Structure 1
Amino acid sequence: MKSEIKIGVLVSGGGTNLQSIMDACAAGEINGRVVCVISNVADAFALERARQAGIPAIFLNHRDYAGRRSYDEALVEALKGHEVDLVVMAGFMRIITEVLLDPFPQAVMNIHPSLLPAFPGLYPQRQALEYGAKVSGCTVHFVDAGTDTGPIIAQAAVPVLENDTEEALSARILMEEHRIYPEAVKLFAQGRLTVEGRRVVVAPE
């Protein structure tokens, strides 16, 4: 059996996806554990979730750094200090650079609340409603240098209902995020993900 992986989570908000991954680790569904949680927001509730679980909770203020690259250097130092194998972005509201990506090749994941490549960037639920999409959803992908452009690991579809609001659609998508993000991390921990061009191939168990 493969040894458990060490997961570092980057987050800017409440951390519900962080919680779903911590819960899956605690239940033995993921052969891994969250070893640090890093936020660029001092009062992000995600940090409190980490503290309550006995996980190092680190506040790194991006305003203390000259730019994205120097901030990413600090992130890498913290992640490497905890011997992280997989970096999970869970509502981390920062554009990251190759300074962070290069030390973790094909080992930085993100979740986005749309069916990529549709509606990348900010406010994807609002974009879907304004466009008149009939189906939205969420996507787990490996992160590359683009904005929500990395190879897709998993997706879940969520219907857009008549008279839907941004808040209602977001809440239904979030339920699917909590399901597929731990599943993607589980596959990574099992060593079953390989990237071939733009495709992520999932090896059978």
Structure 2
Amino acid sequence: MNTQSNTRTKPRIAVFASGNGTNFEALINADLPADICVLVCDQNDAPVIERAHRHHIPVIMSLVHKGVSKAQRERQLLQELAPYQVTILVLAGYMRIVGPTLLAAFPRHIINIHPALLPSFPGRHGIEDAYAAGVAVTGVTIHFVDNGVDTGEIIAQEPVRRTDQDTIETLATKIHAVEHRLYPETIRHLIEKGVL
């Protein structure tokens, strides 16, 4: 019998990353009900590129060039993404602010992970800022992306407790362990609920 759930096309994900790519790897290994079909990277020497090659996932380089505006770069990126028929953008350690061009192309279909309990400690140094502030509890946030810096609607959060023995390295390790579990779980839930 042909049902809607059987005929619904699998979501197609583009992962955006700038660095090591451990969340990218966690998403690949999670066997999501979606196809991770392309990586977008803005750093030529990012280790995540090698991870993508190992998994035979194509890579689009979206480098910042002097004299090229964010809007121009994002329009070019949309052209390069078009053949992959992407339906969801997943930011996984992507260190650029998403601009209006991408936001308009993927309304409520761009999500991000942040290594702190937003709205506390937004920006690129969430772990370091929380550690420096001496908070007893920090954590992980997954949120929709809007035109601010880590200001989008929160989808999921999980606290991570800091002990007196924690160094910034051990705290980061605990946060990353939560990220690698919570991000795939949340994306799976959003897809199964038809949100993404």
Q: Cα RMSD between the aligned structures?
A: 1.6
- Contact 1:4 1:189 survives alignment (8 Å): no
TM-aligned CA deviation for residue 163 of structure 1? 4.2
1:106 to 1:65, Cα distance in 2 relative to 1, 3 A: farther
Tell me the equivalent position of 1:4: 10
Unaligned runs of 5+ in 1: 195-205
1:64 to 1:74, Cα distance in 2 relative to 1, 3 A: farther
TM-aligned CA deviation for residue 169 of structure 1? 1.1
Number of residue pairs aligned between Structure 1 and Structure 2: 190
Deviations 1:139-186 (A, max 9, x none): 011100011011111111100111422222111100000011101211
- Contact 2:24 2:92 survives alignment (8 Å): yes
- Contact 1:38 1:59 survives alignment (8 Å): yes
Secondary structure, aligned partner of 2:182 = helix
Tell me the equivalent position of 1:202: none
1:102 to 2:104 alignment? yes
Deviations 1:63-120 (A, max 9, x none): 2661222122222222233110110011111111111111001000100000111110
**Equivalent-residue separation in structure 2 for 1:110 and 1:190 (angstroms):** 18
Tell me the equivalent position of 1:47: 49
| Structure 1 outlier segments of 4+, above 6 Å | none
1:13 to 2:23 alignment? no
Tell me the equivalent position of 1:24: 30
Q: 1:124 is matched by which residue type in structure 2?
A: G
Q: 2:52 is matched by which residue type in structure 1?
A: A
Farther off after superposition, 157-166 or 138-147: 157-166
Unaligned runs of 5+ in 2: none
**Equivalent-residue separation in structure 1 for 2:190 and 2:83 (angstroms):** 21
**Equivalent-residue separation in structure 2 for 1:83 and 1:65 (angstroms):** 29
**Equivalent-residue separation in structure 1 for 2:76 and 2:161 (angstroms):** 40
TM-score in terms of structure 1 length:
0.87
**Equivalent-residue separation in structure 1 for 2:154 and 2:82 (angstroms):** 25
- Contact 1:3 1:31 survives alignment (8 Å): no
* 2:155 maps to which of 153, 156, 161: 153
**Equivalent-residue separation in structure 1 for 2:82 and 2:144 (angstroms):** 19
Tell me the equivalent position of 2:193: 191
